[in-house]
Amino acid sequence: MKNRKKIGSKIKEFREFRQLSRGDLAIQANLDEAQLQLIEDEGNVPSLGVLIKISRAMGVRIGTFLDDQEKIGPAMVNAGKAEETLSFSTKDESTREHLNFFSLAQAKSGRHMEPFLVEIEPAEESDYKLSSHEGEEFIYVLEGSIEINYGKEVYLLHKGDTIYLDSVVAHNIHAAGEQAAKILAVVYTPV
């Protein structure tokens, strides 16, 4: 997928523009330098939490690395025309990728919210890795059912249900049971 390389190259471009070494950015973002190298040079797509850490360390919006083009004014995506932008993965390469993100505002520059349609495939594991990042998330279940591990709590949501959560609390979103699900997720991260 061409966006995999694009995210890494944008991160590298901004890092070099800010005259940061890879090691300096890794320290500022609290990441392994080897992980940053895989993102920048090999096209590994970072988890949402890692992408937020990188954007915060460089003082830019998360959308800076996701923007496809700059557009002033509204950005519209017609029904069925959302293109898959990326699948977020974790640092653990053995973890099965199960979240496919379709950006709904990729063309809008200067945005503070990231709206996505997310297809959630059933996961084989039951020991879900929790992650946290700055910001807030709003989730609306469009199809199927999802389970959200949020701190020490577990929430089960079905079609039509919503949840608004603080992303600083460790969490994981996955399909409930063996059926796929689809959600509308709006992620806000402060700059």
Distance in angstroms (rounded) separating the CA atoms of residues 18 and 29: 14
Q: What is the mean pLDDT of the chain?
A: 82
Residue, of 46 and 171, whose pLDDT is higher:
171
Residue 127 sits in a domain whose CATH number is 2.60.120.10
Among 19, 41, 66, the domain boundary falls at 66
CA dihedral over 74, 186, 16, 18, signed as positive or negative: positive
What is the extent of the structural domain holding 24? 1-66
Q: Which stretch, 18-27, 61-70, 76-85, has highest mean pLDDT?
A: 18-27
Region 151-168 average pLDDT: 95
Residue 184 CB burial class (10 angstroms; 0-12, 13-18, ≥19): middle
Region 22-48 average pLDDT: 89
Q: pTM of the entire structure?
A: 0.66
Residue, of 75 and 94, whose pLDDT is higher:
75
Among 42, 66, 90, the domain boundary falls at 66
- Please work out, in degrees rounded to the nearest 5, the angle formed at the alpha carbon of residue 88 by the alpha carbons of 85 and 92: 155
Among 35, 66, 97, the domain boundary falls at 66
Q: Residue 76 pLDDT more than 50?
A: yes
The pLDDT-based confidence of 85 (bands split at 50, 70, 90) is: low
Residue, of 61 and 136, whose pLDDT is higher:
136
Give φ, ψ of 112 to 5 degrees.
-110, -10
pLDDT (0 to 100) of residue 124: 74
Q: Which stretch, 20-24, 56-60, 77-81, 90-94, has highest mean pLDDT?
A: 20-24
Count of domains for the chain: 2
Region 72-90 average pLDDT: 62
pLDDT (0 to 100) of residue 86: 53
